């Protein structure tokens, strides 16, 4: 059994949705494009899963947040794909790829051939077992990557009001899920190995603000420590977590957010006879047109490691929604309009929203961190200055024009002659430029 398409998108997440929109704008003909996804629903805005989806009242539910509403674009429902003649092959895993034959083999035994392939397989959550801890399969241990995980977490939360949760990991998932748990009236203890939360992005001073904000809402922090085992009841349900130093924390539910791995295995050549593409930084290496080491194959989103012009073409793999959206659109443009598509000039952009807080970050967080603003009242920011230029900027609680201004000074690498003045002016420096 087999089908042939001109364009195939492998994966049905954020990047797939934005690629589909771009294909449609570029007049893809009915029957030319298909999306193959392991998930059973059309592409959606994944960030909603740790925010609106977990709210106790009026939670976000599909079809509200199908792509591409997150970028104020059209909402691509199943009907939209049908009307455009774009085939959605859902609930279907691609088991293997043959790049020479330009052929994918699916879990249902179907062979799908392509002229152009866009790999948009995203990433999977790291499991505790990969760190030598057993017990992930317990009914009250949650991970969060897709709708099925989110539905499971919602169910468990509903039985835990007034009870205790332990959140393992102090990164994005840890911070956003803790906020959601508190909003659902669950008492949370966060456990992570670093000295402070969001250690890869936040300075100690930034983290102090967020940790104090969380503590004021009852959250407890256990830092510099890791989970080593679970205590379970006779039915296998977790009742407590045990840490490396022997600390025991009672738990009615556990949420784990300890990082991700890009889904590269179909293309890492490790399986005998398996497809092989060049890899870097844990992802599939692409050029500025999102093209892999095979000219007919492109990679986008979390799985792609691409050159960032702003950082001297350093290869980066970014795990954020804005990069998924933009790399996807760029790949489609490179395929459908090769003559008018150059190398992507991307400004890395991350954001988060927790409780009533909201921040944006642009660029890179290396060099000297210059803090500014009113920290106790949550109206603050940070510039990262390297070799006399601004190369990164973060702002909490900013207005639209302030966010636009800080993104611009990062993009243009605004020169800083006086760090003291930068500190004093804060976002005013960016607004003035």
Site residues (CB under 6 A) for ligand NDP?
50, 131, 168-174, 176, 192-194, 199-200, 226-227, 257-260, 319-320, 350, 352
**Partners of 111 in the β-ladder:** 2, 105
Of the pair 28, 141, the CB lying nearest ligand NDP is at 141
One of 24, 47, 402, 407 touching ligand FAD (CB under 6 A): 47
Among 37, 67, 292, 427, binds ligand FAD (CB under 6 A): 37
* Binding status of residue 22 toward ligand FAD by CB under 6 A: no
Residue 14 within binding range of ligand FAD, rule CB under 6 A: yes
Q: Residue 333 binds which one of ligand NDP, ligand FAD, none, with CB within 5 to 8 A depending on kind?
A: none
Of 422, 396, 404, the residue nearest 203 (C-alpha): 396
Span near ligand FAD by CB under 6 A; candidates 47-55, 109-117, 190-198, 425-433: 47-55
Residue 167 CA to residue 190 CA, distance in Å, equals 5
Which string of x and - marks every residue 174-213 that binds ligand FAD (by CB under 6 A)?
----------------------------------------
Q: Which is nearer to ligand NDP, 250 or 428 (CB)?
A: 250
Q: Where are the alpha helices (DSSP H) in 39-95?
A: 78-84
CB of 109 to ligand NDP, least distance (A): 32
Q: What whole-number distance in Å separates Cα of residue 40 and Cα of residue 233? A: 33
- 321 touching ligand FAD, by CB under 6 A: yes
- Report, in Å, the least distance between residue 187 CB and ligand FAD: 22
Q: How many residues bind ligand FAD (CB under 6 A)?
A: 35
**Element at 285 (helix H, strand E):** strand 283-285
Q: Which residue in 329, 368, 369, 358 sits closest to 346, CA to CA?
A: 329
**Which residue in the set 26, 79, 82, 93 belongs to the binding site for ligand FAD (CB under 6 A)?**
93
State yes or no: residue 38 binds ligand FAD (CB under 6 A).
yes
Helix boundaries (H) for 137-223: 147-158, 172-183, 204-215
Identify whether the C-beta of residue 12 lies closer than 8 Å to the C-beta of residue 37. Answer: yes
**What's the closest the beta carbon of residue 352 comes to ligand NDP, in angstroms?**
4
Q: How far apart are CA 15 and CA 206, in angstroms?
A: 31
Q: Per CB under 6 A, does 281 bind ligand FAD? A: no
Cα 120 to the center of its chain, rounded Å = 13
93 binds, options ligand FAD, ligand NDP, none, Cβ within 5 to 8 A by partner type: ligand FAD
- Sort residue 301 into left (φ over 0), alpha (ψ -120 to 50) or beta: left
- Rounded distance, CA 160 to CA 163, Å? 5
CB of 39 to ligand FAD, least distance (A): 4
Nearer to ligand FAD, 46 or 196 (CB): 46
Cα separation, 71 vs 324, whole angstroms: 12
Residue 88's beta-bridge partner residues?
35
> Residue 363 interacts with ligand FAD (CB under 6 A)?
no
Q: Does the footprint of ligand FAD cover residue 36 (CB under 6 A)?
A: yes
Residue 226 contacts which entry, ligand NDP, ligand FAD, none (Cβ below 5-8 A, type-dependent): ligand NDP
| Residue 270 CB partners (closer than 8 Å, separation 6+) | none
Assess contact for 10 and 104: CB atoms under 8 A: yes
Q: Which of 3, 127, 145, 281 binds ligand FAD (CB under 6 A)?
A: 145
Q: Would you call the peptide bond into 63 cis, given omega within 30 degrees of 0 as the criterion?
A: yes
Pattern of binders to ligand FAD over 261-280, x per CB under 6 A? --x--x--------------
Cβ at position 126, least distance to ligand FAD in Å: 12
Residue 363 binding result from ligand FAD, ligand NDP, none, given CB thresholds of 5 to 8 Å by partner type = none
Give the span between the Cα atoms of 295 and 343, in whole angstroms: 15
Residues 406 and 393 sit within 8 Å (Cβ to Cβ): yes
84: its two tokens: 């455009």
Q: Residue 326: which of 352, 311, 310, 306 has the closest Cα?
A: 306
Q: Which of 382, 411, 405 is nearest to 394 (CA)?
A: 382
| 350 contacts ligand FAD (rule: CB under 6 A) | yes
Q: How far is the CB of 421 from ligand NDP (least distance, A)?
A: 31
Side-chain-side CA neighbours of residue 282 (13 Å): 14
| Contact set with ligand FAD (CB under 6 A) | 11-16, 36-39, 46-47, 49-50, 93-94, 120-123, 144-145, 263, 266, 301-303, 319-322, 324, 350-352
């Amino acid at each position: 059994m087999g089908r042939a398409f001109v364009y195939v998108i492998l994966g049905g997440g954020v990047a797939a949705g934005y690629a589909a929109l771009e294909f449609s704008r570029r007049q893809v003909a009915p029957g030319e494009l298909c999306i193959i996804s392991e998930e059973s629903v059309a592409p959606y805005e994944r960030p909603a899963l740790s925010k609106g989806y977990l709210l106790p009242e009026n939670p976000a539910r599909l079809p509200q947040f199908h792509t591409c509403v997150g970028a104020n674009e059209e909402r691509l429902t199943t009907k939209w794909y049908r009307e455009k003649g774009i085939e959605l092959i859902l609930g279907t895993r691609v088991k293997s790829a043959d790049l020479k034959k330009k052929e994918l083999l699916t879990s249902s035994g179907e062979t799908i051939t392509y002229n152009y392939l866009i790999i948009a397989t995203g990433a999977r959550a790291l499991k505790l077992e990969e760190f030598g801890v057993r017990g992930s399969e317990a009914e009250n241990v949650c991970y969060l990557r897709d709708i099925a995980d989110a539905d499971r977490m919602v169910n468990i939360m509903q039985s835990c009001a007034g009870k205790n949760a332990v959140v393992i990991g102090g990164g994005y998932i840890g911070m956003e899920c803790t906020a959601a748990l508190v909003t659902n009236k669950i008492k949370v203890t966060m456990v992570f190995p670093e000295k402070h939360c969001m250690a890869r992005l936040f300075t100690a001073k930034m983290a102090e603000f967020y940790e104090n904000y969380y503590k004021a809402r009852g959250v407890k922090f256990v830092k510099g420590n890791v989970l080593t085992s679970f205590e379970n009841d006779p039915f296998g349900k977790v009742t407590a977590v045990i840490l490396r130093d022997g600390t025991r924390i009672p738990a009615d539910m556990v949420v784990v957010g300890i990082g991700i791995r890009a889904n590269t295995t179909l293309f890492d050549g490790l399986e005998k006879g398996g497809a092989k593409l060049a890899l870097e930084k844990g992802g599939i290496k692409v050029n500025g047109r999102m093209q892999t080491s095979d000219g007919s194959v492109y990679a986008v989103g979390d799985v792609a490691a691409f050159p960032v012009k702003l950082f001297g073409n350093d290869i980066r793999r970014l795990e954020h929604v804005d990069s998924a959206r933009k790399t996807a659109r760029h790949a489609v443009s490179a395929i459908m309009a090769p003559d008018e598509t150059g190398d992507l000039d991307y400004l890395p952009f991350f954001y988060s929203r927790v409780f009533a807080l909201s921040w944006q970050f642009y660029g890179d967080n290396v060099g000297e961190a210059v803090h500014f603003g009113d920290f106790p009242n949550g109206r603050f920011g940070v510039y990262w200055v390297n070799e006399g230029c601004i190369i990164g900027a973060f702002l909490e609680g900013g207005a639209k024009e302030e966010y636009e201004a800080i993104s611009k000074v990062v993009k243009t690498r605004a020169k800083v002659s006086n760090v003291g003045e930068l500190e004093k002016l804060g976002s005013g420096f960016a607004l003035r430029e």
